[in-house]
Structure 1
Amino acid sequence: MSTEDKKDLIYMDVPAGRVVIRLRPDLAPKAAERLRTLAEQGFYDNVAFHRVIPGFMAQGGDPTGTGMHGSDLPDLPAEFTNKAKFERGTIGMARTSDPNSANSQFFIMFEPSPHLDGQYTIVGEVVEGMENVDKIKRGSGSSGVVNEPDRIAKMVPADKAEA
């Protein structure tokens, strides 16, 4: 695979194995660039999946593991589209009630969730390794908070990864 073919791919290693993410700059150029930049900086390495709700999604990207923080970079504007849908493997940008508050946190869908369509920025999709996402430790209760959560071992743009 050429470097050009890899420019929108991210490798994310979780306890069960590798997950390959295809960023969607065609849908969300600012959010796609943010995930790529933070992955390149090693920001996501050892970051927890702090909120995991069975049948819904796994959320990570907060360096404190509390779900209350992000990177030092400014928050991003919403990049909603009616074209893309939240299906199994879709990756969305987590945010507060303010649509323009996405920063570093993201979530991966276990199942389709049409109620999120047009409400959250879709930044990418899992193209390989969804079975490894399925094995991420689940949380409890309606909030899905995880005790002793699984962590991202390493997350790096494919074109920057060691062969």
Structure 2
Amino acid sequence: MKQLLQSAILISSILSTALLAKTAIIETNMGSITVDLNEKAAPKTVANFIQYANSGHYEGTVFHRVIPNFMIQGGGFNTAMQERDTRPPIINEASNGLKNEKYTIAMARTSDVNSATSQFFINVAYNDFLNQRDKTTAGYGYAVFGKVTSGFDVVDKIAKVYTKRSIVSEAQPIQNIVISKVTIRND
């Protein structure tokens, strides 16, 4: 009977932990951004982001692409604009029903729909054209996996920085916007 009770407590503990919402705190030299991660809609994408965050991958990366009235992108390059090593790409979960609305976070990718690794972007406008329209290469979309819940002012401040054209980006901030840490919390 004692073992049965201990097993029930253990299972209850595991289930309650699994049901907790996950939150990411993205700390930058311009302030912190808090993001609620949507594990239910984008389980593979959220797991991928958490794995990069927990491994320390994002520490010392920058927002390397900033386009006002569009998005801010980071998570792949260090302050010297050298690309960080990544794990294999993940499956695109753009068909999850989440939309590229203002202050949502989504995975960046190349023209290959299943090429997302560590880079992400935060929409600073309603970018409906990034939503999945169909399963073709042109219409596949970008997978949203969460939304900003605080630090809107930080996102807006980053979106207004001066940029320049570079080898890495058509809109690289003139001064580095550094991600010092991404912390994952279970709320």
Percent identity over the alignment is 34
The RMSD of aligned alpha carbons is 2.6
Partner of 1:26: 40
Partner of 1:147: 174
- TM-score of the pair, normalised by structure 2: 0.75
Q: CA deviation at 1:64?
A: 4.0
Q: Which has the higher helix share?
A: 2
Q: Which is greater in Rg? A: 2
8 Å Cα contact 2:24/2:184 also seen in 1: yes
Partner of 1:107: 121
**Mapped pair 1:47 → 2:61:** yes
Size of the alignment, in residue pairs? 159
Q: Which has the higher strand share?
A: 2
8 Å Cα contact 2:86/2:118 also seen in 1: no
**What is the alpha-carbon distance in structure 1 between the residues aligned to residue 130 and residue 67 of structure 2?**
15
**What is the alpha-carbon distance in structure 2 between the residues aligned to residue 122 and residue 67 of structure 1?**
25
8 Å Cα contact 1:45/1:152 also seen in 2: yes
Alignment of 1:123-134 (within 5 A): 123-134=145-156
Structure 1 portions without partners, runs of 5+: none
Q: Which has the higher contact order (CA 8 A, sep 6+)?
A: 1
**What is the alpha-carbon distance in structure 2 between the residues aligned to residue 123 and residue 9 of structure 1?**
11
8 Å Cα contact 1:49/1:65 also seen in 2: no
Correspondent of 2:103 among 89, 110, 113: 89
Q: What code does the residue aligned with 1:84 have?
A: L
**What is the alpha-carbon distance in structure 1 between the residues aligned to residue 143 and residue 18 of structure 2?**
25
Q: What code does the residue aligned with 1:139 have?
A: T
